[in-house]
Amino acid sequence: MKAITVEPRKPGTARYGDFPEPEVHEGSVLVEAVAVGVCGTDVEIVEGKYGWAPPGKTRLVLGHESLGRVVDPGPSGGLKKGDLVVGIVRRPDPVPCPNCAVGEWDMCRNGQYTERGIKEIHGFMSERWRIEPEYAIKVDASLGILGVLLEPTTVVAKAWEQVAAVGQRAFWEPRTVLVTGAGPIGLLAALLGRQRGLEVHVLDRVESGPKPDLVRALGATYHAGTVAGVGFEPDVVVECTGVGQVIADSIRAIGAGGVVCLTGVGSGGTTTGLTTADVAAEMVLRNNVVVGSVNANKRHWYKAGENLARADRKWLSSLITRREKPENFKQALERKPDDIKVVIQFSEI
């Protein structure tokens, strides 16, 4: 079969080419790939900045935002041929740490978790893949290609759960949320904010293209510019850019008792003029919490499925701005100005 693979930590090694069929130990369910979403993590892996091949191997099959069709459900009773499924990304560490032991692998304590297409286990950008039945999430057939949005939705479902959990430390009635960044994660975070009945504001750099209209279509307010320029103190910030300046500005802007949830992974940048002690003083005097959030466990996969089911299909469809063939994966990894979610389509749906 053919697969998109990369030698992690070696830029320029990504290729689409022949690759052995998935091995039976990877799972009893055999799946034909339909589509795989591309995200910033994939770009980082291809640029040689992140990622790990399976132990003893040099290449990693890329891709963690899956959608596939069951070819052979194996002995599992829960799936049948033709079902649409999405694969959970993370597997618990083998020790296991206390969190992995209770199924909260997203909160793994020792870092020995593995992730499909990212860390030590093959991803989903191959014509066929295998999965353990307990990690295959069946999606409603009526969602069609939109099932590929499930994985990024799980990431924001977890982030919102974190925000709510932190908020519960005191009496808390959040009203306003600022989402920084109108990429797929930001827009899905805004969708979930609206579903929670909040007044949602989304900030991004661009003034044109599809993002402002997508935000307005949610009944949310779009801002182009800086966090300071939004003109209010949000109860919640969901930070989806990973940009130092935006993070520092968010910590300054958050209202008293507010929660800043960081979901973006960035690095470098210039210093922002805010020292660690400055940040601490702002947070102490206003009871603020900055919480990092990564990955998702089964509970979030379940909730994300509900979030997608409640969302307007037309709005969700407009998040998928480009579909590329696997042989054109390099174009899929390039960020074009009007791109939101780009997917690599392996077979028709």
Min separation Cβ 229 and ligand BGC, Å? 29
243 binds ligand BGC (CB under 6 A): no
Specify the residue, 53 or 89, whose C-beta has the smaller distance to ligand BGC. Answer: 89
**Contact flags string 290-319 toward ligand BGC, x per CB under 6 A:** ----xx------------------------
Specify the residue, 79 or 107, whose C-beta has the smaller distance to ligand BGC. Answer: 107
149 binds ligand BGC (CB under 6 A): no
Which of 39, 86, 146, 343 is in the footprint of ligand BGC by CB under 6 A?
39
Specify the residue, 130 or 158, whose C-beta has the smaller distance to ligand BGC. Answer: 158
Specify the residue, 258 or 305, whose C-beta has the smaller distance to ligand BGC. Answer: 305
Specify the residue, 87 or 326, whose C-beta has the smaller distance to ligand BGC. Answer: 87
Question: Can you tell me the distance from the alpha carbon of 118 to that of 125, in angstroms, rounded to the nearest whole number?
Answer: 12
Which of 7, 93, 115, 161 is in the footprint of ligand BGC by CB under 6 A?
115
**Burial of 172 per CB tally in 10 Å (0-12, 13-18, 19+):** middle
159 binds ligand BGC (CB under 6 A): no
Min separation Cβ 206 and ligand BGC, Å? 22
Min separation Cβ 26 and ligand BGC, Å? 18
Specify the residue, 224 or 294, whose C-beta has the smaller distance to ligand BGC. Answer: 294
45 binds ligand BGC (CB under 6 A): no
Place of tokens 């182009």: 224
Min separation Cβ 152 and ligand BGC, Å? 7
**Contact flags string 63-82 toward ligand BGC, x per CB under 6 A:** -x------------------
Residues forming the site for ligand BGC (CB under 6 A): 39, 41, 64, 89-90, 115, 118, 155, 294-295
